[in-house]
Structures are given as C-alpha cells and as structure tokens.
Amino acid sequence: MTERVVLAYSGGLDTSVAIGWIAEETGAEVVAVAIDCGQGGEDLDVVRQRAVDCGAVEAVVADAKDEFAGEYCIPAIQANALYMDRYPLVSALSRPLIVKHLAEAARYHNATMVGHGCTGKGNDQVRFEAGLAALFPELRVVAPVRDSGMTRDKAIAFAEEKGLPIDVTKKSPYSIDQNLFGRAVETGFLEDIWNGPIEDVYAYTDNPAEQREPDELVVTFTAGVPTAVDGKELSPLQVVEEMNRRAGAQGVGRIDMVEDRLVGIKSREVYEAPGAMALIAAHQELEAVTVERDLARFKRGVDQRWGELVYDGLWFSPLKQSLDVFVGEANRHVTGDIRMVLHGGRAVVTGRRSEASLYDYDLATYDTGDTYDQSMARGFIDVWSMPAKISNLRDRKHS
C-alpha cells in the first residue's frame, strides 16, 4: 500500500514545490491540507484546485476563521501577547491551529507522514514539528524545502520547470504570511536592514501620514474578551475584522523590527496588525483599571512568558496550558468599556469605565471630598523603609 503524506498547504511557492518534491523523492501520495485562518486573497476552491494541479491526490480545505479568532486570537489579547514587546504573534498563533487540523487529517487519511514547506532558518519548522510531537508523535515529518537545501531562487526555478501555477517570480521575491490577526512580510530588499519599507509592502494598513479625520470608537470587554464595538455586540471574528478595518484605515499597527528567532538568527520582519495592536492596547488599559496591583505586576511576567512559549512553538506544552488557567482567572474582572481614538498610525485610549473598576474617585482626588486619610502616610513610610534603613546603617557602621 502506498504511503500517504499529509502536507500543510498554503498555496504559495514553498508548499507547491513540496508536493512535487515529495512525489519524486519518496513515492508517497500527498494529501494537501489548507486551513483558512482569515488570510483572504483567494477562494478556497482555487487553493484546492491548485494543490491538485501541483500533484496532490487529494486536497482538503477548512474554513477555520471563527475557531482561530475565538480560540487563538482572544487568548493572545487576554495575555497582551507581544513578543519582544512588539510583535503580536501573527504567524505563531496560526501554527498550532494548523497543526491540530494536520493531526486530525493524518488520522482520517491513515497517513504515516506529515510534511511542511518550512526552511531550516525559520521558526515555523519548530512550531509545526513540536506541535505534532505533542498531538501525534507517531508521525514522521518530511520537510522538503529544508531537507533538500532548496533556496528560494531554486524553488522558483523548480516551479517554472514543472509549470506549477503559483504567483511568485524573481521580480516579486517577498515572503508573505497573513491571517486574521495580521500580516508578515520578509525577504527581498528588506533583508538589508538599512532599507526602509516602501508603501507597496503594506496591504492591511493605509499610509498613516495621509490627512484624514480621526476615528473614535468604544470597545467593550467581558472577562477580558472583546464583545462589542460602539455598543454593537459582535463575535470574536467580527470584532477582530471590524478593528482591522477601522484601525487599518488609520495606519495603526505597522511594525518594522529585527527580532530574535528561535533558531538563534536575527531576522528583519515587517508586520501589519491593526486590529491586534488596537485591541491589546485597549485590553491593557482596562486591566489597569480592574486588576489589583500585585496581580497586575505578576501577570506582566506571565504575559511575557506566554508570548515566548507561543512564539517558540510550545502552544501544547504543560506550562503554556497552566498559564492559560492563570490568564483566564486574572481576566475575571476585566469587564467594561474603553474609548479610543485611531489616527495617524496610533491607537490612543481616551476613556475607561467599568462596574468592576478599582479606581475610587474619592480616594484619588486632590480636591474637596478627598476621603484618604493622609496622616496614615508617615507611619506607613517608616515601616516600609525600615529594612533599607537598618541595612544602610549597618553598612555605614562597618565600612
């Protein structure tokens, strides 16, 4: 019986080339699995047909936009997940979802192998293989682009030789990955980190330098989950789509950075994540109003570690799953409204309100009506500073 390989298929250069490479090198049949995480662009039927045209014996496509929004993007918002304090995990969030569907397809089609089109330099090879090791460790992994040492120019030549129906040419060498949560662009002239990105690089955001009227909106959260925009209740998918549209129109969410890849290489990446950046900013501000100080301080460390685990491909790890419980509990009272102004590439919070607010006007005000007893401050400071005071007196005595 001919072996079967389930291939993570995007419809782009690397995975289209991978179908032909697997067939030639292993003799196995390829089942292409394409997952729609909101990347847009092409109809799923077109992607399915392209996989078949490239040599797949079967092509499976799944619309997973709602699943991606609710089970992956929302937890990232609740965790304020920004790798290196800047990158909202655009690609990293979609990989465990794809891995989950690959594992399910491998079981259904009795596959013995799973394939991906990642290179040996990137993070995605780790994300796919670490995820599969957790969900379906019996599978063998084939990585045609990585294992054959095929560079991007060789892949383009292979595609042209085989007549594969793909769009990438030597004149358009960008590597682009996009989904509901954002868009990542690399390679080409961007590999020279002195070169600034040109306007043609962007697709999710309009030029923030162009003159336009500001956009004011109100985002409503319930237990850390964005549930409405301007009072209109929306599903997680609809919230992210609406915020992408409105924040993108104001040029919000452009990120140009050199990041530390998991494999140890520094990589220049250009990201667009208008909805993600605006929603995380809103969520952080509502947390500032509703989360107690020590819990908030501790959660900032958890948020950073959560983001690192997801970036590093450990979505299914015990630590990540345990941190999910903490993040959920910490968001229990993060309910209320955040008013924002989107303009000139920025999402600026201008108002907050919450029934669960810890902000007490009567304690905070400096005007008449202040209920804070300032006479308590002196004794508090004496006690608070006592350890440092005693230690420094000791040091002066023995210096």
Is 206 annotated as contributing to ligand binding?
no
Average pLDDT of span 247-253: 98
Is 14 annotated as contributing to ligand binding?
yes
- Give residue 318's pLDDT: 98
How many CB atoms lie under 10 A from the CB of residue 75? 22
pLDDT bucket at 175, cuts 50 / 70 / 90:
confident
Half-sphere exposure at residue 171, Cβ-oriented, CA atoms within 13 angstroms: 1
- Give residue 335's pLDDT: 98
What digits encode the pLDDT tens for the residues 114-147?
999 888 888 999 999 999 999 999 999 999 888 8
pLDDT bucket at 167, cuts 50 / 70 / 90:
low
Is 357 annotated as contributing to ligand binding?
no
- Percent pLDDT > 90 in the chain is 77
Does position 104 have pLDDT exceeding 80, yes or no? yes
95 is catalytic: yes
Is 72 annotated as contributing to ligand binding?
no
| Domains delineated in the chain | 4-177 (3.40.50.620), 182-353 (3.90.1260.10), 361-398 (1.20.5.470)
Please state, in angstroms and as integers, the Cα–Cα distance from residue 368 to each residue in 53, 360, 363, 373, following that order.
76, 14, 11, 13
Of the residues 50, 95, 246, 254, only one is catalytic, namely: 95
More confident residue, 15 or 109: 109
CA distance 231 to 339: 11
pLDDT bucket at 24, cuts 50 / 70 / 90:
confident
- Percent pLDDT > 70 in the chain is 97
Is 83 annotated as contributing to ligand binding?
no
More confident residue, 135 or 367: 135
Mean pLDDT, the chain, integer: 93
pLDDT bucket at 148, cuts 50 / 70 / 90:
confident
Is 271 annotated as contributing to ligand binding?
yes
Q: Could you tell me which residues come within 8 angstroms of residue 383 by beta carbon, excluding any fewer than 6 positions away?
A: none
CA distance 147 to 120: 8
Q: Are strands 29-36 and 4-8 parallel, antiparallel or unpaired?
A: parallel
Does position 370 have pLDDT exceeding 90, yes or no? no
Is 311 annotated as contributing to ligand binding?
no
175 is catalytic: yes
- Give residue 156's pLDDT: 79
pLDDT bucket at 94, cuts 50 / 70 / 90:
very high
Is 117 annotated as contributing to ligand binding?
yes
Of the residues 50, 91, 124, 254, only one is catalytic, namely: 124
Does position 203 have pLDDT exceeding 60, yes or no? yes
- Give residue 210's pLDDT: 96
Window from 44-48, 71-75, 107-111, 343-347 with minimum mean pLDDT? 44-48
Of the residues 175, 246, 268, 312, only one is catalytic, namely: 175
Average pLDDT of span 284-307: 98
Does position 173 have pLDDT exceeding 80, yes or no? no
5 three-class SS? strand
Is 15 annotated as contributing to ligand binding?
yes
CA distance 223 to 214: 28
14 is catalytic: yes
CA distance 323 to 339: 29
Window from 62-71, 88-97, 374-383 with minimum mean pLDDT? 374-383
pLDDT bucket at 357, cuts 50 / 70 / 90:
very high
- Give residue 330's pLDDT: 98
Does position 169 have pLDDT exceeding 70, yes or no? no
Does position 172 have pLDDT exceeding 70, yes or no? no
